[in-house]
Structure 1
C-alpha cells in the first residue's frame, strides 16, 4: 500500500465499521456511545499528545498522534467530512 493512501484507507474502514457495526469492533463500540463520546475521545487524545510531547519519548508521541488521528477520522466520518474535504481546505490555506 502507498503510505500516502493510508488515511483514506483507514477512513474507508471506519465508514464500513460504522455502517456494519460488527461485534468486537472498537470503532463500532465508540460510535454506539454517540458523537459526544467520540468528540471527548478526540479531546482526551489531544491532551495525551501534548503530555507525550512534553514528558515522554518520541515513540510514545508517535503512538499518541496515531491515536488522535484515528479518533479524528471517526469524528469526521460521523460529521460527514472526508479526508478529501480536509485536503482541499489545507490546500486552500496554502495559497
Structure 2
C-alpha cells in the first residue's frame, strides 16, 4: 500500500494487515493485533516516531495534537481505529 492507494477502498482489515506487516518486518517478531507494544518493550519512543511517520505517509493522514497520545499507538487495533477515524474526519 502506498499514499496513492484509493482511500475509499482501504478497509479496516486492509489497514490492520498493512500495519501488522510493517511491524512484523521492523521488529522481526509476529505482532498480534491486541499486543500492547509499549508494555511488552517491543516499541521504543524512537520507533514510535518512525511509526507515526509511516502511518501518515502510508495512509495519507496527519496525526497531530491530541491524536499523538500513546494510547493511539499501543496496539495494531488502536492504530487501525485511529487511521479509520482520521480518514473519516478528513472526508467530511
TM-score of the two chains, using structure 1 as the length reference: 0.32
Q: Which has the higher helix share?
A: 1
Rg (Cα) greater in structure: 1
TM-score by length of 2: 0.33
Higher RCO (CA 8 Å, separation ≥ 6 residues)? 2
